[in-house]
Structure 1
Amino acid sequence: MENKRTRLQEKLLGATLAITGAILWGIQGPVSQFLFQDNHLSPEWLMGIKMGISGILILLFTKFFKKEPVMTLWKQPKNIGVFIAYAIFGLAAVQYLYLVTVNLSNAGTATVLQSLGTVLIVIFTAIFYHQLPNKYEATAVLVALIGTWLLVTKGQLTQLAISTPALTAGLLLALAGSIQTMLPVNLLKKFSSLVVVGWAMLIGGILFTIVHPFWVDVPKMTLGTFLGVTFIVLFGTMMSFICFINSLRFISPTVAGMLDTFEPLSATIGAIVFLNTSFNGAEVIGGLLVLSTVFILALGSRNE
């Protein structure tokens, strides 16, 4: 009985971390859209800043506050290949493709396309782990996708206007999201999540600084620009990924991926706050459907 209670508490902690990370990531969308529209920032410039600073802060926190060694990852060469793949094709790709999709369309469209990664996770889990989703996970996926679609289309289900470049970037974003969720699972069993995320962030920051040095074409730093970039660095990037990757210690990649559907909910709220966007009844229903996935998963865990 005690073991069941402990396991339930771990699942609750994992779900809370995943939801928190998703909300912070979702709010980042409208903030990024504001920076792109009103301040003319480029995604490449923002990538170098946000990933580089986030990586450095995470590693410093790990070294001096958590008192954990930060070089352990590099002392085991057999893990470096998987880690580099995660850093570039998972974490950095998600960060970049999300900003590109927001820039080419809007925050809502970017979140609905990213949510397709949940479907890919379920498919990959079935193919590689021979583990089909149970009825609760399948129901939650369906409900989450319907809710997400309502939330970002305002009920106009056949009128999601999107350009070919935006659609391509969005589909690649979904693929990168599934890679980001599934690839680091074994790494997290061997190394601190802070070490994994910190180095991956720093690698991404260095990569995009090479592509677009942050000292070249520096945007005009108004108060709004400074606050927006600061939020994206500290909360939309660093805290969101720390929460998400730590959630994988307690819940499966499939469940973590489904809880990512809180992103469009927070993106909508963020759009209202930052961009004065209104929402209709269909968006309210979509938000409630997204929230209901937590109760569906909780019911599945209880019956399990």
Structure 2
Amino acid sequence: MKRRKGLFLVITGAMFWGIGGTVAKKLFQQYAIDINWLVTTRLLIAGLLLLSVQFFGKDRSQILGVWKNRRAALQLIIFGLIGMLGVQYTYMASIKNGNAAVATLLQYLAPIMIIVYLILSRQSVLTRKDLLTVALALIGCFFLLTNGSFSQLSVPLLAIVWGIFSGLAVAFYTLYAVPLLKQYDSLVIVGWAMIIGGFALSFIHPPWEMDFKSLTLEAYLYLIFVIIFGTMIAFWFYIESLQSLSPKESSLLGSIEPLAAVLTTVFWLKESFGIFQWIGTTCIIVMILLLALNKDSSSTTNHLSKNEKPLRIS
């Protein structure tokens, strides 16, 4: 029963992440929601809720304890401003200018960027599996973004640029968080990082500056889904799944996220996807599965220790 609960949590959380991006695209398209307002509100509310889960369910002393360590506090601020805010804003910007499917798949190129970084910094050596995953990523991206045509892109260039920046932000987010995760629970680090990022962005677009009367009931339901289900509950479920599943199993099942994003983009938003884009999507999903199934602890793709909980980013 414990294992079934873990499987339910990680699969549900991954689906919420993937669908959340598509719902955000619906808000941008149909209701012209400002991206700055959505990211600010999403981060602040989700961050507060995650810290609430920590306060009522786990070691509440860590919530303020992280600020008593000057080094950890400085790392947390940098992580919140560059890592968390960088990931969330670039991801949403890629969705707004393109679609959730492409944005999510481009974000999942972060492991390849980490591989390149670790090799260039001589922290790891290149393996055959690394070469295969890089090849799948490059082939997948080419087909996904061009639909097999050398003369034109299948998605707007701006969406691709934001998507690549999103992948880079995820790579930084993942590597920079390692020391913090060794000292504090994931809910504490991510909760505070969301609040820090949301607070910083609120100077550009305060969350209360919104014409709430112009929104319909449907728009409010979409907002609730993106903020609560697509962010807070998705992350919480993923972390809770690690109580009964291994990090490798949770990471593997987490690959449902891009699949959910693709399917909802195509069948709910009715956005066209060519045959070569499906081939590219398949290549990237296979790459994700290879990384999740990697058993070589010395590989460049396995940068987290066995006892470390992997972070989620969408």
Shorter-chain TM-score: what band?
A: 0.7 to 0.9
Corresponding letter in the other structure for 2:128: K
Structure 2 Cα separation of the partners of residues 228 and 190 of structure 1: 36
RMSD between aligned residues: 3.6
* CA apart distance, 1:195: 0.5
CA distance 1:296–1:288, change in 2 (3 Å): same
Alignment match, 2:218: 224
1:29 matched to 2:21:
yes
Mapped pair 1:181 → 2:174: yes
Select which of 191, 208, 211 maps to 2:204: 211
- Equivalence for 1:286: 280
Q: Which is worse superposed, 88-97 or 161-170?
A: 161-170
Counterpart of 1:79 in structure 2 is: 72
Give a deviation string over 1:10-57, Cα, whole Å, max 9, x none. Answer: xxx99x95x876654332222111101100100111012111110111
The answer to which of 179-188 and 135-144 deviates more is 135-144
1:109-159 deviation digits (Å, cap 9, x = unpaired): 433443443332111222345212422233123224433543454444652
Q: Provide the rounded CA distance (Å) in 2 between the counterparts of 1:163 and 1:284.
A: 18
* Counterpart contact for 1:21–1:240, Cα < 8 Å: yes
Aligned partner of 2:229 in structure 1 is: 235
Partner of 1:56: 48
**Map of 1:6 onto structure 2:** none
| 1:89 aligned onto 2:82 | yes
Q: Distance in 1 between matches of 2:134 and 2:233?
A: 25
- Which structure 2 residues correspond to residues 28-177 of structure 1 after superposition, within 5 A? 28-69=20-61, 70-128=63-121, 130-151=123-144, 153-156=146-149, 158-160=151-153, 165-177=158-170
Q: Which amino acid is 1:25 matched to?
A: W
Q: Match of 1:197?
A: 190
Distance 2:297 2:65 in 1: 40
Residues 225-279 of structure 1: CA deviation (Å, up to 9, x unaligned): 1121112112322244456778999769xx96x9987554322112134312354
Distance 1:38 1:259 in 2: 31
Distance 2:121 2:223 in 1: 39
| Mapped pair 1:265 → 2:259 | yes
1:290 aligns to what SS in structure 2?
helix
Residues 31 and 228 in structure 1, CA contact (< 8 A), matched pair in contact too: yes
Q: Is contact 2:146–2:154 with CA below 8 Å preserved after alignment?
A: no
Runs of 5+ in structure 2 lacking a partner?
299-314
**Contact 1:122/1:132 (<8 A) preserved:** no
CA positional deviation for 1:58? 0.6
1:198 CA displacement = 0.8
Q: Which amino acid aligns with 1:179?
A: F
Inter-CA distance 167–232: structure 2 relative to 1 (3 Å threshold): same
The count of corresponding residues between Structure 1 and Structure 2 is 288
Q: Distance in 1 between matches of 2:178 and 2:74?
A: 14
Task: Quickly say closer, same or farther: Cα 1:286–1:260, change in 2 above 3 A.
Answer: farther
TM-score by length of 1: 0.78
Unaligned runs of 5+ in 1: 1-8
Q: Measure, in 2, the Cα distance between the counterparts of 1:199 and 1:181.
A: 16
1:165, 1:279 → 2: CA distance? 18
Look up the SS of the partner of 1:211 in the other structure: coil
TM-score by length of 2: 0.76
Separation in structure 2 between the aligned mates of residue 156 and residue 259 of structure 1, nearest angstrom: 32
Q: Does 1:275 align with 2:269?
A: yes
- The AA in structure 2 aligned to 1:135 is R
Structure with a larger share of its residues in helix: 1
Identity %: 33
Distance in 1 between residues matched to 2:43 and 2:103, nearest whole Å: 19
| Corresponding letter in the other structure for 1:47 | V
User: Which shows bigger deviation, 282-291 or 77-86?
Assistant: 282-291
Post-superposition offset of 1:99: 1.2
